[in-house]
Chains A and B, each alone.
Chain A
Amino acid sequence: MLIKRKTADVQRGRLQAAIAGLSSGVIDRRAFLRRSGLVAGGIAAAGALQIGSVRKAEAAGLGPATGTKIVKNICTHCSVGCTVKAEVANGVWVGQEPAWESPINRGSHCAKGASVRELVHGDRRIKYPMKLVDGQWQRISWDVAINEIGDKMMEIRGKSGADSVYLLGSAKFSNEGAYLFRKFAAFWGTNNVDHQARICHSTTVAGVANTWGYGAMTNSYNDIRNSKTIMFMGSNAAEAHPVSMQHILSGKELNRANVIVFDPRLTRTAAHATDYIRIRSGTDIAVIWGMMWHIFKNGWEDKEFLAARVHGMDDVRKEVEKYDPKTVEDITGVPEAQMKRAAETFAKVKPATFIWCMGVTQHSVGTANVRAICNLLLATGNVGGMGNGANIFRGHCNVQGATDFGLDISNLPCYYGLVEGAWRHWARVWDVPYDYFVTRFDEVPAKGGRPARTAKANMETSGHTSTRWFDAANLPAEQVDQKDNLKAMFVMGHGGNTIPRMPDAVKGLEKLELLVVADPHPTNFVSLGGRKNGTYLLPIGTQFECSGSRTCSNRSVQWGEKIVEPIFEAASDYYVIYKLAQKLGFAAEMHKNFEMVQGKYGPEPSAESILKEINRGGWSTGYTGQSPERLKLHMQHQDKFDLVSLRGAKGSPVENDFYGLPWPCWGTPELKHPGTHILYNTALEAGNGGGTFRPRFGLTRERTLADGSKVNDTLLAENGSYSLNSEIRDGYPEFTMGVLKKLGWDADLTPQELETITWIGGNAIDAVNWANDLSGGIQRVALKHGCVPYGNGKARANAWNLPDPVPTHREPIYSPRVDLVAKWPARPDERTLRIPNLHTTVQKAAVEKGIAKSFPIVLTSGRLVEYEGGGEETRSNRWLAELQQDMFVEINPADASARGIKDGAFVWVSGPENNSKARVKALVTERVGKGVAFMPFHFGGFYQGTDQRGNYPKGTDPIVLGESVNIVTTYGYDPVTAMHEGKVTLCQIAAA
């Protein structure tokens, strides 16, 4: 939209021209300025340069061809996937230009994206490997670091087992880094490997995948331009995903779309909404069911869609009957008229999309919240088409990819699970005997009344979640369902202030024998607690210092090129994982399929070859068509893609492809599947980006009728619902060799494909399926006949395998409405993954102790636009840090005046557990309702009033420090994924 105007010849190169004459050769713009001083007088400034040489250089080389190179990478902050265009001269990143050609951001950035160049100036980065010796940081070499860490890991392995080492990965890894780290965990022999998806959208993945097949955003940011109704719940996109608002606000203007925001706060997103509906934190299910009540009562549901593509909506209908407007208003605080208007709009003004984020997921009922929303989408027929769908905005730049590649306690890469078949599949891809992996896992002795587990059983048992890593260190050994408690944490790219109950985390940290933090910045793990020894800091380059692909929220995979070499003594993720594997003795086996290239410090696997291995194994998720060559071609031709449909233009090298080949991109790269822009979209052919709901929970389900007789309901699609031009004009199960034979389509397989299938299947060849056929033949043949490889099934309104198959409202663990707890209690105590999950015990104790009286304010948390995640990286960026220099709590004027709190004054926020408290500034605002407080979660480095700046190695402390909200947040874990309840607890606030 902006107009370019040329007055002079296009020139670039003032800085390069200036630095070309300097003897050092390499200088960045900052150093350059430091020498000259931006505001100093002209003569004095010029004096710092060798004027003669500058003139000479200018004469020789002013103009565009002075060696400035343009390199494209992807912003490392949220999941929108903005292209960053870097100007590099002499190996220094000297300028950032808008990437107009990217269909995702069209040149735009938010505060974080516009300042990423600062990350590789890195004043506050970790400069070299360090270890803590009696409380003092000592510089060590990479070799010493890797040796000592490896020896200690082996010692712990010998004593306590492989499961006692926790491998905490990162949503900032490239896809290749994430995959490599997961593979590393498999070779080490543990499923205790996790990353930030646990704390952002693990409940989304569980809820959504259990509804219709895959745990991901169904449409895209761009597609929201087609929506006529846009509903937000627990998402503040204006601060958390600012560039997405470009598409949302444009769409709103073009379609005169309704934008409805449900949130306890009047957020910056709500400021641009057509309707803002304030709800009480932790009542999401009651809100959704409240809307559904109106939808069912008035017959606004999409009956055709339900009959053809959804199973079990009648069970939901029964539950929803309990949520009449009066009950709902009592629980949520939303008046009937408002609720009815929202419901009617969502059901009638279609296409309607639902956007949610951590306001929905971070609850002890997170998975159920997500399931309720899925049901709203299903009931109104708002899935699988343009402008509708579940638009789940994920948090980090590659949290989708890291989830896809199984940085997760319950999955191998690409959601294969942990069953024997899954292990055998990856063992084949990795070309390592399956039995090798069995030998790597611990045998777990019988304890706490639980039977013993063999190594094989342990290998198939989900690991321990990152939300409660400290519980695995602190709890009595018999309560922790693994060989021994946690003894070591190897943390690559994960903050230490991102999960509740930090006082317990401090205790956990003190119990660890080994703590390794491998990160560009020291993170809060280093400043917390009082560790004196056994702590290592390894400097890692950011993703701007590393090549690789990353998957944004809409499943588009984008290739980023390394902009500069890792600065200081930082190394790449690939190098560090390789070196550690080498030290632990399995590098050769682990890297045998990779091309080893010369990195900064020596050989490391090339990102391209890692992606190619992923392509050979990622059949279940359609990660097979995205070869590095195709991804690079997309980056090169970004301007050829349509802004709304994301299709490549006719006649271009990327014709017909969707931008970034959003998964599933079926078959081999040679098959040229275009990727899938919109999941479950039956309006397109399967081979052209179409899809159906995935039948993964059986083919029929028994139902008991009122008279006691039983019928079997089909779980396959009905009433002529299938993807365009499918040769099977009905529902069908997933494709296996057996199904191909029955259809007579096995004749379409090539001899080579058949050979591979025979090799995999042995004497049970019929069982080889679309997801483990390494030849891709089964997928190719299915697509050839217009069929989706995973089948054509129904979405499940009733997910009978989950703890709450049909969601029901449950009061938060720390509820302000004690009177509602009896009717809507938390789930009974249970074990979630490897440890106890005491929902009822904790909730009951809170009621009995009268917590709601002494801690009367509901506390919720969220993001600020300037910072991201734990915030160390962004709080170390001076351009961002300047904008947000203080941790604060938002408090309503009524609550503030009742407590004598002035705007800007310090207050103590105290939490109901561990006598926790945090000293922060008060921001008195009507943004939060009466009785509600909000704190951002990006701060760290202060602990209960104490400044911990001294705990950071000198020169690596972030510019801005502050108390973490998670000092005062509390217990509460989702029964499926152990997601913490970060979005609702109770607190008290007093003037400091």
Chain B
Amino acid sequence: MARMKFLCDADRCIECNACVTACKNENEVPWGINRRRVVTINDGKPGERSISMACMHCTDAPCMAVCPVDCFYNTADGVVLHNKDLCIGCGYCFYACPFGAPQYPKIGNFGTRGKMDKCTFCAGGPEADLSPAEFQKYGSNRLAEGKLPLCAEMCSTKSLLAGDGEIIAQIYKERVVKRGYGSGAWGWQTAYKETIAI
């Protein structure tokens, strides 16, 4: 069984934000919610590197562990999804997440939060695959269409990889061997509790 993972090749990422707008485009994500974003470290200095971050769909997801209403679930592909009908917008998952993935719409005064929204690996949610209800609450379900997340599919430099963990790890390994260096697959170890041996 495939185990879906994201990997951002930081030697290729140029912070073009295609992944961010592709996500908005595909899932009709409203202003103020960013399921994916690009983080740049050492901005403007030698050694500047950017990485595209979203929900990493962790092997042992901390959000899932802390959720008081147990709204998270793992799909057969290893994608971490949640049920918005159960979510109470408490924010625990945000504190638990090492990647800052969970987002909350501002729904009123006094900082009240709406139901959590995050990257679904373009795999929709608990509703029936490709149903209007699924689309309204979670956006696209590209996996059900036999496609991969649009952010990775549209990445300008093929930096962001998405797919079966074994295969994308292999792609990354080949690249590192070919180019002779690699700044590491950032977040991979944290999310998936394993390293890519080269």
Contacts and interface: CB of A to CB of B under 8 A. Distances in A.
Nearest to A41: B85
A38 B179 contact: no
Contacts of B179: 252-253, 256
Contacts of B139: 38
A4 B143 CA distance: 9
A262 to B, nearest CB: 16
Nearest to B2: A5
Interface stretch (A14-22, A659-667, A728-736, A807-815): A14-22
A14 B29 contact: no
B134 to A, nearest CB: 8
A8 interface: yes
Given A33-B28, A256-B179, A8 B117 contact: no
A2 B20 contact: no
Nearest to A105: B156
Interface in B43-86: 43-50, 76-77, 84-85
B137 interface: yes
Contacts of B127: 42
B173 interface: no
B36 to A, nearest CB: 11
Nearest to A12: B145
B20 A45 contact: no
B14 interface: yes
Contacts of B168: 3
A242 B180 CA distance: 23
Contact of B133 (A33, A42, A880): A42
A254 interface: yes
Given A98-B154, A118-B25, A271-B48, A242 B16 contact: yes
B164 A879 contact: no
Contacts of A878: 31
A266 B29 contact: no
B114 A107 contact: no
Interface string A111-144: 1111101100000000000000000000000000
B130 A256 contact: no
Interface stretch (A184-192, A243-251, A353-361, A427-435): A243-251
A338 B179 CA distance: 24
A18 B137 contact: no
B105 A14 contact: no
Contacts of A925: 43-44
Contacts of B24: 115, 879, 882
A801 B151 CA distance: 51
Contact of B171 (A1, A97, A110): A1
Contact of A268 (B15, B117, B161): B15
B32 to A, nearest CB: 8
A927 B129 CA distance: 47
A15 B132 contact: yes
B30 interface: yes
B51 to A, nearest CB: 13
A254 B175 CA distance: 9
B25 A239 contact: no
Contact of A30 (B16, B28, B117, B143): B28
A108 interface: yes
A255 to B, nearest CB: 10
A62 interface: yes
B17 A266 contact: no
A440 interface: no
A882 B31 contact: yes
Contacts of B114: 39
Contact of B130 (A5, A62, A112): A62
A504 to B, nearest CB: 33
Given A98-B154, A114-B22, A114-B25, A4 B137 contact: no
20 contacts: A1-B161, A5-B77, A5-B146, A7-B76, A29-B28, A38-B137, A42-B127, A46-B136, A107-B153, A108-B157, A109-B154, A110-B16, A242-B18, A243-B157, A245-B14, A246-B156, A865-B17, A879-B24, A879-B25, A882-B34
Closest 8 CB pairs of A and B: A927-B44, A111-B17, A242-B16, A115-B21, A114-B22, A238-B14, A925-B44, A18-B132
Interface of A: 1-8, 10-15, 17-18, 29-30, 33, 36-42, 45-46, 49, 54, 58, 62, 95-98, 106-115, 117-118, 238-239, 242-243, 245-246, 249-250, 252-254, 256, 266, 268-269, 271-272, 276, 865-866, 878-880, 882-883, 890, 925-928
